[in-house]
Amino acid sequence: METEVDFYELLEVERTADDKTIKSAYRKLAMKYHPDRNPGDAGSEARFKAISVAYDCLKDPQKRATYDRYGHAAYAQAQQGGGGGGGGGFSDIGDIFETIFGSAFGGGAGGRPRRGADLRYDMEISLEEAFHGKETEIEIEVSQTCEPCSGSGAEPGTDRTRCPTCQGHGKVRAQQGFFMVERPCPTCHGRGEIIEKPCAACRGEGRIDQAQRLEVTIPPGVETGTRIRLSGKGEAGPMGAPPGDLYIFIHVRRHDVYEREGTTLLTRVPITFTKAALGGTVGLPGLDGEWVTINIPAGIQSGEQLRKRGDGMPVLQGRGRGDLVVEVKVETPRKLSTKQKELLREFQQSETDAQCPESQGFFERIKAGFSKR
């Protein structure tokens, strides 16, 4: 699975961030990682270039919309001359991006059509679904290989011909001062071939946007940020090139009872002060559908935690489960009947300092402190 450096993560903003927030985040990070402030630091220089690339994309509404749908592959394709679905105006950014991070999302030029774009799909699931896993189906609109021309882009019965400008290499060279610069061929846009009679169905693109239904398996134990890769289910490559991949990004909804830290489930349970003093049990609904019984030891204090091993989340692609951690909150009754007050006063009279050592120690330290003044 390739490593994806997300533009929003680079700028440390949410995907829903507005233009003002993105601009502010960029200025802050640019000042922090600017090469002038970090002389000789290659890491800071690379980070500065990366956030500049990210900001150049996200500040432009059209580029941002393209990136949100296609990801880095939009840049990789556009860098080769807009070859199918990438859009124009990205070539310089694509050069910088590939210099820093490499060609993680595409193939090469030089006569070979680039693989299709990788796509991103965000899926929201419940904590129960993350616990059990699920089989589901999604529908996305994605470029697929054109059937009439079989992805060639040429009208059926015709064929592509070698580009006369680059002689099929896909690149041309030009002298600039002392340097020889190699660029994608402007005639064939780096493909090495030209189509004299484009396919009427796909207009020479070799692919058509169509709705596609896909079955997705969510394994037990996934959490927010988990990526599921569907190989070959991304955009079809131009001119019959291999398709990209589809990445399913998991987002687990907030639960009413439990919070999650890795495989550990956490919850806070209020108990009466009598149960805290005398001990007892509380029952919780487990994510597996079974009730979990928590034993409350006598004398437990508010804020103490009880651990139930093996009642947490499943280990992703592994065996066993994490733990359930219950934090106890002792609740004091707000309204008491006359009889209850009488009983408590009677209990108060029989109370000893030894039964509440923390209170006793605290007030003894206060007395000792004032006596020294």
> Which amino acids are annotated as binding site for Zn(2+), given as ranges?
146, 149, 163, 166, 185, 188, 199, 202
SS (H, E, C) 170-205: CEEEEEECCEEEEEECCCCCCCCEECCCECCCCCCC
The encoded tokens of residue 24 equal 């502010």
Helices then strands, counting H and E runs in the chain, come out as 10, 15
Pairing between β-strand 171-176 and β-strand 161-162 as defined by DSSP bridges = unpaired
How far is the C-alpha of 253 from the C-alpha of 298, rounded, in Å? 35
CA 155 to chain centroid, in Å, comes to: 41
Helix segments in 258-315, DSSP class H: 273-278
Q: Which helix (H) or strand (E) holds 314?
A: none
Size (the chain), residues = 373
Supply φ then ψ for residue 37, to 5 degrees. Answer: -90, -10
How far is the C-alpha of 127 from the C-alpha of 223, rounded, in Å? 9
Strand partners, 215: 137
Annotated binding site: 146, 149, 163, 166, 185, 188, 199, 202
With CA atoms as reference, report the closest residue to 192 among 215, 212, 164: 164
